[in-house]
Amino acid sequence: MLRPERTCYDVTFYDLYVRVDPNRRWLEGWVYIHYQALEPFERLQIDLDRKMEIKSIQWNGLDLAYERLAGAVFVTFPPQEKGSSGVFRVTYEGFPREAPNAPWQGGFVWAEDQYKKPWIGVACEGDGASLWWPNKDHLSDEPDSMKISVSVPNPLQCISNGNLRAKVSEKNNHTRYDWFVSYPINNYNVTLNIGNYTHFSETYRAEDGSEMPLDYYVLHYNIEKARRHFEQVAPTLACFEKYFGKYPFWDDGFALVEAPYLAMEHQSAIAYGNQYMRGYLGGMIPEDMNWDYAIVHESGHEYFGNSIGCSDLSEMWIHESFTTYMEALFVECRYGYADAVRYMNSQRGIILNKEPILGPKDVNWDHWKGGTDQYYKGAWMLHTLRHAIGDDEQWFALLRAFYDQYALQQIDTDTFVQFVNHYTGTDYSSFFEQYLWYPDIPVLVYKLEQRGKDVKVTYQWKASAPGFKMPVTLQGKDRRWRLNPESGKRKTSTLENCRVEDIRVSLELFLIGEKRL
């Protein structure tokens, strides 16, 4: 469980100011944290990386005492009553942690463009936004909105989340950029991008006729390349709107910002660094497809990860599995179902099945053993569920209903499991237990016997989850048969007018193993 110093209050608003010194690689600033007391308290926890120094913490004109324990900061308050609200200010400075390998290992990226001008970004998913600014660094608590003010030396610009509200000249040849986010935002999505940017835009028209600007901030020497390459953005958003509804942060707009690392789903200001290439730096998608992985994947995160988010790092599959599956939905939208299945199968070999997709809760778990099963295995779990349900109309209606019900909220795994069970009228609890809690996949154990013109099939599941059951299909020359195996329970069925040699398990539709006796 989370400590009571974290659960005793709810953050309602952050007002962040940061002054950036690119030459020293230094930050200084403050954040006003607006809160409401969920329980009576005299002590609360915020977080800030040990590399950053706290200068003061003030509340109602009082200097508050605090204690630092690694990245945790415990602040002592006068007694706060349940339901009361207030604001405290944390002033800080320091040399923020530099990212060893952004975005996978987080921190600041102090780079230069090809003209040796500063080009700066930050990525901190998993590591936490407290690497560079003080906050309540847990996914369970998002502010309702946020102001982000960043002061940079001229002529550099700063692009952050949401809408630019003001651009103000400051002393020492600096300019302050005031951005405002009008929706809830998780802490790791809060960002800054600093460089010599050129801006261009286009207009996206939704199915209901409403319009939203698509803003692009790129290094000036890449503008012509970007104009051509980013033509795929609007069709991508149209595909996602088809399945899940309008882009979720409509009033804050959509932006791609060229970044000195591959990509990151920073809400309404997606970091883009795929070098204007197809796929993932030129690879990882079938050779006959031509779309940018970073644009599709990170735009998908606006729906899953940014709008619907998990409440604990251990359940990041909610972000990554859904978004990886959205890549296949994009392919289905643009190319068709057969190509979507082919795309899913191009990823199957990446799945490791070495550890559960879910990790331990309440410990900021980010210690998977190098695999990406929360991406690809989780996406295949959804692909499998689609075909276990066996009704595409119901499947797509389920996805849309789930998204509509939980948009702009944090959820946990059980939320989705119970939704699926209720929506379909079928208990898929053992299905999710097998794919999320166990590293191995279910194995279909079966035997085929020719009986005249027909084939007798004997079958059952071998699985780790108790009581596992899931429909599966067998593929013949020109038809399919649907079986309903159960774990540890041998069943038989007759397949009429077919030959043993023409029958195979539909492994392209189900993440399972097979053992033919």
Q: Where are the alpha helices (DSSP H) in 390-514?
A: 392-406, 413-424, 429-432
Question: Residue 169's CB: how many other CB atoms inside 10 A?
Answer: 9
The CA-to-CA distance between both ends of the chain, in Å, stands at 47
For residues 319-345, average pLDDT: 99
CATH class of the 308-419 domain in this structure:
mainly alpha
With tokens 């001008």, the residue in question is 117
Per DSSP, the three-state class of 348 is: helix
For residues 425-444, average pLDDT: 98
Burial of 471 (0-12, 13-18, 19+ CB in 10 A): middle
496 close to 454: Cβ distance less than 8 angstroms: yes
The strand pairing partners of 408, in sequence order, are none
> Rounded to whole angstroms, what are the CA distances from 480 to 119, 160, 477, 483, 506?
56, 52, 8, 10, 9
Model pLDDT, residue 361: 85
**pLDDT at residue 490 tops 80:** yes
Radius of gyration of the chain, Cα coordinates, nearest whole angstrom? 25
User: The domain 443-516: what is its CATH number?
Assistant: 2.60.40
pTM of the model: 0.97
For residues 454-480, average pLDDT: 97
**pLDDT at residue 105 tops 80:** yes
pLDDT, tens only, 60-83? 999 999 999 999 999 999 999 999
142 close to 184: Cβ distance less than 8 angstroms: yes
Distance CA 430, CA 464 (A): 10
DSSP character for 108?
E
Distance CA 197, CA 195 (A): 6
Model pLDDT, residue 368: 67
pLDDT, tens only, 347-388? 999 999 999 999 888 777 776 676 799 999 999 999 999 999
Q: How do the domains of the chain map onto residue ranges?
A: 308-419, 443-516
For residues 112-123, average pLDDT: 98
Question: What is the percentage of the chain residues whose pLDDT exceeds 70?
Answer: 99
Q: Which of 323 and 365 is assigned the larger pLDDT?
A: 323
Burial of 115 (0-12, 13-18, 19+ CB in 10 A): exposed
Model pLDDT, residue 370: 64
**pLDDT at residue 102 tops 90:** yes
**pLDDT at residue 277 tops 70:** yes
The overall longest dimension of the chain from CA atoms, in Å, is 91
Question: What is the percentage of the chain residues whose pLDDT exceeds 90?
Answer: 97
pLDDT, tens only, 210-229? 999 999 999 999 999 999 99
